[in-house]
Amino acid sequence: MDPVFLAELAINGALTGLLYSLFAIGLVLIYKASSVPNLAQGGLTMVGAYVVLALARDVGMPLWLAIPIAVAIMFGLGFGIERVALRRLAGRPVVMILMITLGLDIFLRGTTLAVWGGTSRSMELGVSYEPLFLGDILVSRIHLVGAFVAVMFFAAFLLFFRTRLGIKLRAIADDYMASWSVGISVERGIGLSWGLASVVAVSAGVIWGEIQGVDQALSLLLLKGLTVAVLGGLDSILGAIVAGIILGVVENVGADFLDPLVGGGSRELIVAAVLILTIMIRPHGLFGRHDIERV
């Protein structure tokens, strides 16, 4: 294979993987605080994109104003979801909370379908479609912008978890009861994690909406985000970034080899294989904490 073409596949795959990391970071934020994978993150991403479009097109706001207002709205939505739906399940089996998040995803998809319909709508961020070459390698501008956003979120959350509030969230993740005993509001901490995950969802929705349009399919990207989160470790922000790059490269390069053999559609097969193998071989992921219980 031409080495330039292989490098192009790998670089664009890494950029796409960083976009998957935007989903994974949202999953990690909630898991770090509540130890529950949020299966509604795809739905939140889709809703965030629709809210931006509604403010920009239906209300007539400029995009630079619509996005921060959508961020504030989604932060409130995420915080409210935890307060209304999840706080009542405190102390219940984890599988019940997991099913609630799945039900939320279905509810959010149904709501957007009822309000905005099923027709795909375009998101226009003003990113040029002119080809961008790094030497002989063609790179997508919107993927480059999305990768930059993902890295900025990664850096911001690394700094956040070193602050006093971030340390409180880490304490909540380690031990609910110990956190309660020293006066930390566990409920507010978990609510904050849902709010922050919803903020990340807006960014993912806007970027992916520019790439593939805003419709119900946005929520289906959760599978790739979940694969990245599991591969990197559900409690690791760093893992979300590294695993996103790995999955993107493996998916893009692998699909180029497999698609001619199977007639297409191998990307989903590769993602599913990575998810299954990770759970079988290293269930705590590349950077996740491996808790050992002694009995």
Long-range contacts at 101-108 (CB < 8 A, ≥ 24 apart): 101/36, 101/37, 101/38, 101/39, 101/40, 102/39, 102/40, 104/39, 104/40, 104/43, 105/39, 105/40, 105/42, 105/43, 105/219, 105/222, 106/43, 107/43, 108/40, 108/43, 108/44, 108/46, 108/47, 108/219
Give the whole-angstrom CA distance, residue 17 versus residue 147. 8
At residue 19, what are phi and psi to the nearest 5 degrees?
-70, -35
Query: Is 237:228 a contact under the CB 8 Å cutoff?
Result: no
> Which segment of 109-113, 161-165, 202-206 scores lowest on mean pLDDT?
161-165
Q: What is the mean pLDDT of residues 256-284?
A: 88
In a domain, 168, yes or no: yes
In a domain, 245, yes or no: no
pLDDT reading at 254 higher than 60: yes
In a domain, 268, yes or no: no
In a domain, 197, yes or no: yes
In a domain, 117, yes or no: yes
Q: Which residues pair with 139 in a beta bridge?
A: 132
Give the whole-angstrom CA distance, residue 221 versus residue 49. 13
Q: Which residues pair with 137 in a beta bridge?
A: 134
Give the pLDDT confidence score for residue 295 in this predicted structure.
40
Q: Considering the chain, what is the average pLDDT of its residues? A: 87
In a domain, 115, yes or no: yes
Nearest residue to 227 via CA among 276, 172, 163, 157: 276
Query: Is 219:45 a contact under the CB 8 Å cutoff?
Result: yes
**End-to-end CA separation in angstroms for the chain:** 53
Residues in the chain: 295
Provide the residue range defining the domain that includes 144: 3-219
In a domain, 149, yes or no: yes
pLDDT tens-digit readout, 178-224: 777 777 777 788 888 899 999 999 999 999 999 999 999 899 899 99
Considering its fold, how many domains does the chain have in total? 1
> Which segment of 22-26, 30-34, 46-50, 144-148 scores lowest on mean pLDDT?
30-34
pLDDT reading at 291 higher than 70: no
Give the pLDDT confidence score for residue 1 in this predicted structure.
62
pLDDT category, 87, cuts 50, 70, 90? confident
Q: What is the mean pLDDT of residues 102-129?
A: 89
In a domain, 265, yes or no: no
